[in-house]
Amino acid sequence: MKARGRFPLQAELSGPIRPGPLPSVVRIPLCGLAALVAVGELVRAGQPVARGEGLTRGDAHTPVAGEVESISGDTLVIRTDPAGGEVAPAPLPPGLSGEGLAASLRAMGLDLDGLEHAALLIVNAVNPEPGVRAPQRILHDFQPALAEGVKVLKRLVGAGRVVLAVARGTELGLPGTERVEIEPVYPLGLAALVVRAVTGRESFAGVSIVDVARVLAAGEAAAGRPVTGTIVSLGADEFRLALGTTLAELFALAGVTPHGGDRVLIGGPLRGAAQHTLEAPVSKWDQALTVVPAGSHPGFGDEACINCGACTRICPVRIMVSLMNRACEFGHYDLALRYDLDVCLECGLCAFVCPARRPILQYIRLARAELRSRAEPLGSVP
C-alpha cells in the first residue's frame, strides 16, 4: 500500500482530546496583521492583539493573559501571567449577514479566504493526509458547535445547499447538511478533489469549501469565543493547543524528543512544513505535528531523472510531471505552465515515488514563486 503511494486517511481515534500545556510564552506570527498592542502592555486572555489586513484575514487574539514581551520582525511574544484576567465572551448578535457578518467573524479571528458567495457550501471533514486526524476528531467531538458554525457560514456565503464531505464508513453527519461520502485515501481529502467528488466537476465555480476546523471556529465565534486555539494530531493523540504554544513546550508535555537529523514538521508527512527549531509556534489552523526520524526515509538527492514516469502516473490531477518538473528545474517557467504547473495541488506524491529522489515539489514551488514575482509590479508586497 504505502510503497505504491496509497495512504488510507481514516484512523482509530485514541482516548479523549488532551489539553495542551499552559504555555509560558506564546508567539503570534504577524504576517498579514498589524499589532494592536505595545511592548510592556498587559493583555487579558481572549483580547485581540493584532488586526487582520484585507478582506479575508481574521484578527489575532491572545489565548493567555500576560505581558507583551516583544514585537520583533514578524512575531509578537506574550509572557503568560496565570493570574491575569480574561475577556468575557460576547455572543454575535443573531441575524447578522453579509458584510456585517464577515466583519464580525474576522474580528473573532476567522480567516475567510475561499468563503465567497456561492450556491453550494461544502464542509470538508475528511482528513487531509495520513497522520492528520484533526478533522475526524472535530466532527466526532464538537457536534453542537459545528451545527451552529454551519448555520453561520451558510448565511455568510448565501448558500442554498450545504454538503458535508465525510470519509466513507463514517456514520456521523451534521444537522442542516447532506452527507457525501469520500473514499478516504490520500489525496482525495484535499479541497479540489473533494469538490470534484461532490459536484462531479473539476471546478470551484459556484462552490465554497471550508474545513471543519473553521466551521468549529465559526460556531464558537457565534457564542462569542474568538479563535485562540487549534486541535492538532501528534503521535496517536489529539491535543487542544493555545495558539502560539511552542513545539518545545508541547513536546515536553507529550514526551516527544526529536533528535538531531530528524524532521520536525508542522503538518503531516506529505505536506508538512519542516521546522529548524522547537521554538517555532503552533498557529491558527495547524492540524498536526509530525516527527520523521532521521534515516527512516531516504532524503532528496539530485540524481538524474530516469524517465520512469512514476510521477506522471501517480499525479492526481493528470500533470505530465516528468516533463513539468524538468521544465521547472531548468527555469523554463512558461513551459512549466504549459505543462499544467498551475493545477498542481502540492500533494507531494510525485516526489514520494520518484526513484531518483528528485525534490520535485521544491522545483514546483520555486517555479510558482518565480512566476508570482514576475507577475507583480516592482515594489509591491505579496
Partner 1 sequence: MSGPLFTVSAPPHWHSGRLSRQIFWESILALSPVLVMAVIGYGLPAVRVLALAGAAAVVVEAVCERLQGRELDVDNGHALLTGLVFACLLPAAAPWWLVLVGVGVAIGVGKHVFGGLGTSPVVPALLGYAVCQISWPGLLRYDFVQLDSLFSWPLADLKYYGRAAAEAHGYADLLLGRQLGGLGACQAGAALAGGLFLVARGIVPWRIPVFFLAGLAASAFAYQLAYPDLAADPLFHLLAGSTLFAAFFLAPEMACAPAGRAAMAGYGLLAGVLVMIIRAYGVWPEGTTFAILLANLTTPLWDRIRPRAFGKGRA
Distance of closest approach, residue 100 Cβ to partner 1, in angstroms: 34
Q: Which amino acid is located at 302 in the chain?
A: D
**What are the phi and psi torsion angles at 71 (to 5°)?**
-130, 100
For residue 292, the partner it binds in partner 1, ligand SF4, none, with Cβ less than 5 to 8 A by kind, is partner 1
Half-sphere exposure of 136 (CA within 13 A, CB side): 27
For residue 281, the partner it binds in partner 1, ligand SF4, none, with Cβ less than 5 to 8 A by kind, is none
Distance of closest approach, residue 69 Cβ to ligand SF4, in angstroms: 39
Among 355, 372, 373, 376, binds ligand SF4 (CB under 6 A): 355
Query: Which residues in the 299-338 window bind ligand SF4 by CB under 6 A?
Result: 305-311, 314-317, 319, 321-322, 325
Distance of closest approach, residue 343 Cβ to partner 1, in angstroms: 5
Distance of closest approach, residue 348 Cβ to ligand SF4, in angstroms: 5
Residue 53 or residue 346: which is nearer to partner 1 going by CB? 346
Q: Does 202 bind partner 1 (CB under 8 A)?
A: yes
Mode of pairing for the β-strands spanning 42-43 and 66-72: antiparallel
Judged by DSSP in three states, 165 sits in strand
The angle subtended at Cα 4 by Cα 164 and Cα 329, nearest 5°, is 95
Distance of closest approach, residue 348 Cβ to partner 1, in angstroms: 3
Residue 252 or residue 308: which is nearer to ligand SF4 going by CB? 308
For residue 325, the partner it binds in partner 1, ligand SF4, none, with Cβ less than 5 to 8 A by kind, is ligand SF4
Q: For the window 339-358, what string marks contact with partner 1 as x by the rule CB under 8 A?
A: -x--x--x-xx-xxx-xxx-
Distance of closest approach, residue 344 Cβ to partner 1, in angstroms: 9
Distance of closest approach, residue 86 Cβ to ligand SF4, in angstroms: 43
Distance of closest approach, residue 368 Cβ to ligand SF4, in angstroms: 11
Q: For the window 291-330, what string marks contact with partner 1 as x by the rule CB under 8 A?
A: -x-x--xxxx--xxxxxxx--xx--xxxxx-xx-------
Among 11, 42, 192, 254, binds partner 1 (CB under 8 A): 192
Among 18, 79, 155, 263, binds partner 1 (CB under 8 A): 263
Q: Does 350 bind ligand SF4 (CB under 6 A)?
A: yes
The angle subtended at Cα 350 by Cα 366 and Cα 259, nearest 5°, is 80
Residue 56 or residue 362: which is nearer to partner 1 going by CB? 362
Q: Does 272 bind partner 1 (CB under 8 A)?
A: yes
Distance of closest approach, residue 185 Cβ to ligand SF4, in angstroms: 14
In SS3 terms, the chain reads as: CHHHCCCECCCCCCCCCEECCCCCEEEEECCCEEECCCCCCEECECCEEEEECCCCCCCEECCCCEEEEEEECCEEEEEECCCCCECCCCCCCCCCCHHHHHHHHHHCCCCCCCCCCCCEEEEECCCCCCCCCHHHHHHHHCHHHHHHHHHHHHHHHCCCEEEEEEECCCCCCCCCCEEEEECCECCCCCHHHHHHHHHCCCCCCCEEEEEHHHHHHHHHHHCCCCCCEEEEEECCEEEEEECCCEHHHHHHHHCCCCCCCCEEEECCCCCCEEECCCCCECCCCCCEEEEECCCCCCCCCCCCCCCCCHHHHHCCCCCCHHHHHHHHHCCCHHHHHHCCHHHCCCCCHHHHHCCCCCCHHHHHHHHHHHHHHHHCCCCCCC
Judged by the rule CB under 8 A, the positions of this chain that interact with partner 1 are 2-5, 192, 202-203, 258-265, 267, 269-279, 290, 292, 294, 297-300, 303-309, 312-313, 316-320, 322-323, 340, 343, 346, 348-349, 351-353, 355-357, 359, 361-362, 365
Judged by the rule CB under 6 A, the positions of this chain that interact with ligand SF4 are 305-311, 314-317, 319, 321-322, 325, 344-350, 353-356, 358, 361
